[in-house]
A and B are shown apart, each in its own frame.
Chain A
């Protein structure tokens, strides 16, 4: 800090301690000649002190510019990392949503995988999403992080409702049709809406609008 303040202000003062002692009476000319010699030496030092202070100031300016650039790089890198995480989260969330929709869909075609396999795929997809986003929550704004937590919870709820309330209904005596409709409502309602919200926020985090 001392160096910084020093470089910021340089001032020079010639103070009057100049005096000379001679054996003999001397002329003003000699005295002035000696004074001039001293002044010249001090002037040299003055110029050097000043120029070196200027160099220091320039160095500090350069250091500050460098620090600014480093800061920019730091922010740029943070942004890049965040963008990567947003993309990664979205990719896994979308995959989970698709796998879960596949698992709970009402109309099945002949080429579809068996429900058991689709359940396993949805469960696996959820595991991947959950592991990923829970370790990356710090990179999201609080609101977005809360929405991610909510959608994760909703997706688990839907998955469980379908597994226990629809797939296992015949065994446990529930109304599978009613439960199934509820699951479809949630998937196409709340979850879809939250997903749309998150897409908007993700785009915003990536710098779009």
Chain B
């Protein structure tokens, strides 16, 4: 996809690193080793069953971030995301659709800090997608949250069990639904990400913009428990 420039959306340096969507570790956890003998198949609007012999395929990456931001500045967020996913997978059988996930249980120590890091992973994804698609997002606000390690009040995460096409194992993001104001600035955005049997919902909503589903999505300002969602079918 075409990008406005090749700058890192967080710090403005050359975007020399790639951000996976879904995350490479999620794909590894879900599919195991990926190689010539055991490849993956990539499908999109322009690719049909494209053979992937490695998770490091450029098709799975957005090149909108620099190595420093991708590695050091957002490393905690990546780890918090991984840990959250591991918790989901190892404890999945205990969670009914209406149950809550307490971050105290997900993260055994520094749970609040690490819950914030988990939240900042969603902030990072929104920033990457906005840059990748050249959307008029308030990127300064998103990058500020990452650089200052503080919550972003506009970004929410929802998690639920995938109930549809449950006999098929796959992973991938949906398209993005956005709402813009009169100046063309995105004021609300929604997209989904499937990772195996779990489905994540990411919502961006500027203050005052009501988006259905925010009630049971999570932002650190709403506390440190996350409701498992029963997504609208």
Contacts and interface: CB of A to CB of B under 8 A. Distances in A.
Contact of B132 (A17, A25, A28): A17
B232 A52 contact: no
A138 interface: no
Interface string A40-54: 111011101110110
B170 A34 contact: yes
Interface string A19-61: 1111111101011011001111110111011101101100000
Nearest to A11: B180
16 contacts: A2-B207, A6-B187, A11-B178, A13-B177, A13-B178, A17-B133, A17-B174, A18-B174, A20-B170, A21-B43, A22-B40, A34-B168, A38-B192, A42-B192, A48-B212, A56-B210
Closest CB pairs A-B (n = 5): A38-B174, A19-B44, A20-B172, A48-B212, A9-B182
Contact of B1 (A14, A16, A31, A56): A16
A89 B153 CA distance: 59
Contact of B43 (A5, A31, A44): A31
A8 B207 CA distance: 16
A23 B40 CA distance: 5
Contacts of B47: 19
Contacts of A19: 42-44, 47, 59-60, 172-173
A22 B177 contact: no
Given A16-B1, A19-B60, A30-B165, 16 more contacts: A2-B187, A3-B209, A5-B183, A6-B187, A17-B21, A17-B133, A17-B175, A17-B191, A18-B44, A19-B43, A25-B49, A26-B41, A40-B233, A46-B177, A49-B190, A52-B211
Nearest to A43: B177
Contacts of B42: 19-21
Contact of A22 (B45, B168, B176, B210): B168
B27 interface: yes
B231 A41 contact: yes
A9 B181 contact: yes
Contact of A42 (B22, B135, B177, B206): B177
A10 B206 CA distance: 14
A14 B21 CA distance: 17
A24 B41 contact: yes
A5 to B, nearest CB: 4
Given A2-B208, A20-B171, A49 B21 contact: no
